[in-house]
Structure 1
Amino acid sequence: MLLTVALTGALPPGTALAVDRPGGKQSFAVTVGQVAPKGTTPTGKEFSRLAMYYFDPDGVVRQAFWFWSWNQGYPAATIGASSAGCDNCKIHTAGGFQTGAEVKELRGRYTTTGDKLAVNWDGGATESWTVARPEPGISVISLTGSSYGANVGQGYGSNIRNTVAVQLKDIPKKYYPGRYSYNAYDAKTGKLVSGTGTSGINLSLPEWKQCNGNCLSAGVEITDPESTACTACKPGEKRAIRYYLASEGGRKNFYEHFCTCLLQGSAACYNGGSHLKPQLQVIDDSGRFRGWVGVEAQHRIANRGTIAVHWYTDV
């Protein structure tokens, strides 16, 4: 994009024009993806991406990200943290998010105009966002369009160092409301479906326990007769969900859950197709934990399982 300077003449060699950062914030935890519109059939081109965006004052934007494509399968990966102290099970994440997996990078330019953010990535891809400042210490960007199919996205930014993270024991035990948009394979009908809705992570439930320094876990019975959760349970089986929230340090968190009726025999640990949700912590300028942005990449087989984007925050 060409930048012109009025009244002041030409810039001295080596001088860079300052660009206003979105909402005045340097780094954003971002979830973004392509989700088929509600009620339509996914095409196979859908994807989810979890990222950190870094906005430099000279107009350069950098992105470090993890990516999952709907038309490719991602076998689950076992992380180093376990639920020792609770049920002593291995914890899993979406393949590609485990420690040591490749972190991809993008670089480009950005401009801000009022509450609008425009990003032009090297290679030609573009994104449009709106910017909001809901309270001091944090800003929010919401995707309004892209040139490459992304149609849903949300990011939360602050000026806290990227090395700052909140330990699981220090996360406020409260309800974090949010939204999700998904593509999924309905095993009962054999059809691909899509949708959006509201949800949350409720750490205020008494069932949550601190298993160890790297894991929280809860077993929560489904008591709402209208709930559609755990429809895979057979009539008469107890409907309950086992949750794990784990960390290996840093802003990456690993969220996994499954219906306990799917456990085989007397086994306490589940190795089937659990819901795998890579997440990044949202932290404001003061270092306070505010929630997560994340994706779901529970599709070991291409175009099966679930691929989604979500965010759960108290902002």
Structure 2
Amino acid sequence: MFRIARTLALAFFMAVAATAATALPAQAVAELPGGKANYVVSLGHMKDAARNNWVRLGTYEFDATAGTVSARMYVWEHATPKARVGTGTVPDSSCTTTDPKSTTHVLACEVKTAGGFTGSPTDLRTGIYTLQTDTINGVSTPTVWIKWNTATAWTEKWAVETGSNLARLSFVHNTKATTGYGYGSNAALTTRRAMSTVQAHPSTIRLQGTTWTADKVGTTGGTFHHENFRTCETTTWCLTYLQPSSSTACQKEGGCPNYGGGTAANISSIQYYIQKLANTDRRDTLWHWCTCLPMERNERCYTGNSHVKPMYQIIDDTGTFRGWVGVEASYYPGNITDPRKSDMFQVFRLADWT
């Protein structure tokens, strides 16, 4: 699914010195960043060998009349692991199977997501913002600067780019985060698209992100082949895809000493599930794991360290689906020495504009 390129270097992040809080105007700015009010945003703090990492996912709503911004974010902190939770959905037989030898369908398993994502966001913040023009890499660039009303100082700056019916926030500086992505439009944050529309999206969706695993920060990228997913006939809010894998991700170094060396497609494949989580907002979730892993445990549906990736749909002014911003918050579920070293975090975008 992902043709992944990783580096073990810290994600690119250009620090810009924060101006004193008093420089931020308290009056209304009468403009919106990129002319858009509603943004979906993913943020993260990730450093090598750290145990204070975190990821956040949610929305920013800008009010030009008041010059204010409101954040509603889900939070996953490294120091306080949250167990994966079931979504209550097992995709139907049109897009899954109970046959572990299948080379065409994923297994009929209850889709999992990160703990807390089926509830309400817990990080609710308000702040003020200002728009300005800064020189970034020698180029005059529109930016938005936010000062949050928090107990400890928290400011952030994004470069603002405008495209076709959509605006994009590119990470420049954040007091607490090291990476992030954002996309905005004037479509209501209650607007979302059906899974059938997602699967039929005509443009290429590309992955870009920053990862943390085994005490190392890296990068990830590639093409996400949403067109290969199956739409489910009954559970229409789900998509599934069994990806035949030729990579080493599911081989012996991927945790499959007994089955990972096989050549059968069902052994070296990856099980992918995408599911919407609500009708009233843009939450989706991505769940995936190597087929060989539950075989090692003599189980059908994997209960180990699978990848759970909460996501928010990117919707443009016309109501068109354009991709997702998302995070990974996969906490190692076993009892081992230093289980937090085996956690997996990620901040990413899957979008047709990267």
Q: Give yes or no for TM over 0.5.
A: yes
Return 172-181 or 89-98, whichever deviates more.
172-181
1:20 is aligned to 31
Amino acid at match of 1:108: G
Give the alignment partner of residue 204 of structure 1, picking from 193, 211, 227. 227
In 2, the alpha carbon distance for the partners of 1:242 and 1:84 equals 15
Give the alignment partner of residue 288 of structure 1, picking from 317, 320, 345. 320
Secondary structure in 2 matching 1:51: strand
In 2, the alpha carbon distance for the partners of 1:101 and 1:163 equals 14
Return 213-222 or 100-109, whichever deviates more.
100-109
Does structure 1 conserve the Cα–Cα contact (< 8 Å) formed by 2:92 and 2:232?
A: no
2:91 is aligned to 83
1:139 aligns with 2:172: no
In 2, the alpha carbon distance for the partners of 1:79 and 1:199 equals 28
1:121 is aligned to 148
1:306 aligns with 2:344: yes
Secondary structure in 2 matching 1:90: coil
Amino acid at match of 1:309: V
In 1, the alpha carbon distance for the partners of 2:180 and 2:171 equals 5
1:97 aligns with 2:130: no
1:44 aligns with 2:71: no
Does structure 1 conserve the Cα–Cα contact (< 8 Å) formed by 2:182 and 2:325?
A: yes
2:209 is aligned to 180
Secondary structure in 2 matching 1:75: coil
Does structure 2 conserve the Cα–Cα contact (< 8 Å) formed by 1:144 and 1:151?
A: no
Secondary structure in 1 matching 2:324: strand
2:302 is aligned to 270
Amino acid at match of 1:255: L
Taking only aligned residues, the RMSD between alpha carbons, in angstroms, comes to 2.1
1:216 is aligned to 239
In 2, the alpha carbon distance for the partners of 1:79 and 1:257 equals 14
CA offset at residue 70 of structure 1? 1.8
1:236 is aligned to 262
CA offset at residue 314 of structure 1? 0.4
CA offset at residue 271 of structure 1? 2.0
Q: Residue 97 and residue 20 in structure 1: after superposition, are their counterparts in 2 closer, same or farther (change >3 A)?
A: same
Query: Gapped runs of 5+ residues in structure 2?
Result: 1-21, 98-107, 134-141, 333-338
Does structure 2 conserve the Cα–Cα contact (< 8 Å) formed by 1:139 and 1:158?
A: yes
Amino acid at match of 2:261: P
Residue deviations 1:99-125, cap 9 Å, x none?
Answer: x34432000100011311100000221
Return 111-120 or 173-182, whichever deviates more.
173-182
Query: Gapped runs of 5+ residues in structure 1?
Result: 5-14, 186-191
In 2, the alpha carbon distance for the partners of 1:243 and 1:137 equals 30
TM norm structure 2: 0.76
Identity between Structure 1 and Structure 2 (%): 28
Give the alignment partner of residue 246 of structure 1, picking from 258, 275, 282. 275
2:45 is aligned to 34
Q: Residue 3 and residue 222 in structure 1: after superposition, are their counterparts in 2 closer, same or farther (change >3 A)?
A: closer
Residue deviations 1:114-143, cap 9 Å, x none?
Answer: 31110000022100111111x231000011
1:74 is aligned to 82
Does structure 2 conserve the Cα–Cα contact (< 8 Å) formed by 1:256 and 1:276?
A: yes
In 1, the alpha carbon distance for the partners of 2:189 and 2:227 equals 27
In 1, the alpha carbon distance for the partners of 2:241 and 2:24 equals 54
CA offset at residue 3 of structure 1? 7.5
In 1, the alpha carbon distance for the partners of 2:68 and 2:212 equals 33
Secondary structure in 2 matching 1:80: coil
Residue deviations 1:218-256, cap 9 Å, x none?
Answer: 111113xxx332222332263110000001333100100
Secondary structure in 1 matching 2:28: coil
Secondary structure in 2 matching 1:204: helix
Does structure 2 conserve the Cα–Cα contact (< 8 Å) formed by 1:48 and 1:68?
A: yes
TM norm structure 1: 0.85
Bigger strand share: 1
Count of aligned residue pairs for this structure pair: 288
CA offset at residue 173 of structure 1? 4.5
CA offset at residue 147 of structure 1? 1.5
Secondary structure in 1 matching 2:304: coil
